[in-house]
Amino acid sequence: MKKFYQDKVVWITGASSGIGEALVQELAQTGAKIVLSARRKEELERVKKENQLTNDNSLILTLDLENYKEFDKDVKQVIQKFGTIDVLIGNGGISQRSVAHETGMEVYESLMRVNYFGNIALTIAVLPWMREKKRGWISTISSVAGKFGVPLRTGYSATKSALTGFYEALRAENKKENLKVTLIYPGFIRTQISKNALTKDNKKQGKTDEAIEKGLDPNLCARKILEGIASEQLEVVIAGPREKFGIFLHKHFPKFFASFIAKAKVT
Active-site positions?
Answer: 156
* Contact between 222 and 25 (Cβ < 8 Å): yes
Taking the C-alpha atoms of residue 5 and residue 201, their distance in angstroms, rounded to an integer, is 42
What are the strands of the beta sheet with 33-37, ordered from one edge?
Answer: 58-60, 33-37, 9-13, 87-90, 136-141, 179-186, 235-238
Please give the DSSP secondary-structure letter assigned to residue 69: G
* Contact between 197 and 251 (Cβ < 8 Å): no
- Kindly report the length of the chain: 267
* Contact between 96 and 145 (Cβ < 8 Å): no
Please give the DSSP secondary-structure letter assigned to residue 110: H
Please give the DSSP secondary-structure letter assigned to residue 201: T
* Contact between 104 and 114 (Cβ < 8 Å): no
